[in-house]
Amino acid sequence: MREPGISALFASQNSEKTIVACITSFLEFADEIIIVDNGSTDNTIKLCEELASKYKKVKFYNHPEIVHLYENRQIALEHSKYKWLFRGDTDYVACDHIWELRARILKTSTKNTPIIFQLKQINLIQDIHHTKYEEPVGGLMPRFYSYSKKMQFQRLGRWEGIRYVKDVINLRINRPLMIEVKKPYWFHCQFKEPMDYMFRSERTNWRELGDFKKFPTLEPYMKKRAR
């Protein structure tokens, strides 16, 4: 039986512009924060180590060998200990009223079925004073999951998500109940340069190719792709 509370799982990769603001904004919201990095080449790892050293509830794991995002998430899941799991990104910055969400999640019963909370987010490009729309809110995305021994992160196309695996012993499938929360509780801060996003889109392809003798880093692979 897991302890009541929220484990925030963050996958990091070249997030030096937002990682500190992200983690500190969720400190009071989550009962533990687990960061797993796979392949950062900027200052992200150093910043994560400093955060883990400064804050007791922050745990950092560096796994540069990981290829897929779902593997990153699975490692974080295996290190977690609380009943609720938050699948977070390191360019999220929590709003002040996120305590409302914590209270709602923790009082939700999971006795009969797994629960998934789907939420919207405010997509912030550049800065909030010059964005085109007053509140550029994105679509609903699954972000909070009740823990189950049969759950695991799996690859879903180029992304990742949770699967509640069939309970073979009891011959049932744990079909989760989806709960929609349309009020946004964090900003999605898209502050990276366009080149960073292009590199990120090809990083998985480079790792899956596995030709590290010819392409020891992502840069020569990208040059080859650009020709």
pLDDT in tens, 94-150: 999 999 999 999 999 988 788 999 999 888 766 555 555 555 566 789 999 999 887
Q: Which helix (H) or strand (E) holds 84?
A: strand 82-89
Nearest to 158 by CA among 189, 202, 120, 119: 202
Q: How far is Cα 139 from Cα 152, in angstroms, rounded to an integer? A: 24
pLDDT in tens, 213-222: 887 777 777 7
Q: pLDDT value at position 63?
A: 95
Nearest to 2 by CA among 123, 133, 145, 124: 145
Q: What is the pTM of this model?
A: 0.82
Q: Which helix (H) or strand (E) holds 23?
A: helix 19-25
CATH class of segment(s) 3-192: alpha beta
Q: pLDDT value at position 85?
A: 98
Q: What angle do CA 21, 26, 27 make, to 5 degrees?
A: 100
Domain with CATH 3.90.550.10 in the chain: 3-192
Q: How far is Cα 165 from Cα 172, in angstroms, rounded to an integer? A: 9
